[in-house]
Amino acid sequence: MKRVNIHPNMTIEEVGQAGTHYLNDHWKAVLKEHAPELEKLFPEYEDATYGMYLDKLIPPIWQELQQNGYQSADETKENDFIIAGCFNFNNSLEKAKWGTPAHETRIFWIVLKDQHEEQIGTLLFELSHSHVEFALPAPPKFMVFSGTERNEIMEEIRKLKEE
């Protein structure tokens, strides 16, 4: 897999751009490679199957971020459900009115700290998915937000999806 263009001292916007490039280069290939297995698992595991997909797609970019001094500002608690090594299910939103059963949207967020322990902003990750069958009706995407407080992040996500 191609290296991700991450380096220390990036802004949240630059991190988002690097994530976007990575997704554009890899999401379809990872999906194509693993779709038969994931389609078979979907009837039993339903939504959790998308976490299995993310476990295959996201780790290379998350590892590159960590190797360059970035980390989540949130401490992981014992009962947190972590997907792909970085997405805390508690830090995500999905609303029925954002789509249809065949095209739902869940948005995860990670408040990023840099190598100086300073919060640089929030990395948002949107995953369009189906509750009817294993399918990604739209490409996954990264977005960024300068805010770092939970309530303002949730408000920003609602604004993005409901306007």
pLDDT for residue 92 is more than 90:
yes
Q: Are 122 and 145 in contact (CB under 8 A)?
A: yes
Nearest to 121 by CA among 12, 19, 17: 12
Q: Express each pLDDT in 59-82 by its tens digit.
A: 999 999 999 999 999 999 999 999
Model pTM? 0.94
Which residue has 């990264």 as its token pair? 142
**pLDDT at residue 40 in the model:** 97
Q: Are 128 and 103 in contact (CB under 8 A)?
A: yes
- Give the model's confidence band at 163: pLDDT under 50 very low, under 70 low, under 90 confident, else very high: low
Long-range contacts of 62-67 (CB under 8 A, 24+ apart): 62/86, 64/3, 64/4, 64/6, 65/4, 65/6, 65/15, 65/112, 67/6
What are the angstrom distances between the C-alpha of 119 and each of 62, 102, 112, 122?
A: 16, 36, 6, 8
